[in-house]
């Protein structure tokens, strides 16, 4: 994360989370700087983690379903598929929820 004063560009790395810029005296809040930088990112970049996990979840379900049709014990393949898809699906949901909560907190 690039922590620079929004007024003069002074590097604020290593300084407290709130204070005044040593270069120009402008007050800063690193959380606000972080949120401003995050808001400038394209929406796809902000969402890429949970989108990737959601796609992985769908792939696990499709591949697991296809493999269960060929397995000697289809219930075992289905159980493993459901467990793996549940974990990746929960990860996608957790990323989405954290991003949603952060966005609402910044509004």
**Dihedral sign, Cα of residue 91, residue 97, residue 101, residue 102:** positive
Strands 18-20 and 27-29, bridge-based pairing: antiparallel
Q: Which of 30-34, 84-88, 89-93 has the lowest mean pLDDT?
A: 30-34
pLDDT tens digits for range 40-78: 777 777 788 888 989 999 999 999 999 888 888 889 889
Instruction: Give 3-48 pLDDT, tens digit per residue.
Output: 788 788 888 888 888 889 999 998 888 877 777 777 777 777 778 8
Domain residue ranges in the chain: 1-40, 42-106
């Amino acid at each position: 994360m690039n922590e620079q004063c929004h007024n003069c560009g002074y590097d604020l790395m290593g300084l407290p989370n709130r204070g005044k810029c040593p270069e120009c005296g402008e007050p800063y809040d690193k959380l606000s700087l972080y949120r401003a930088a995050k808001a400038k990112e394209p929406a796809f970049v902000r969402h890429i983690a949970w989108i990737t996990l959601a796609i992985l979840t769908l792939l696990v379900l499709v591949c697991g379903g296809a493999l269960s049709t060929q397995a000697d014990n289809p219930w075992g393949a289905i159980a493993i598929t459901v467990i793996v898809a549940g974990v990746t699906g929960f990860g996608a949901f957790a990323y989405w929820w954290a991003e949603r909560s952060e966005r609402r907190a910044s509004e």
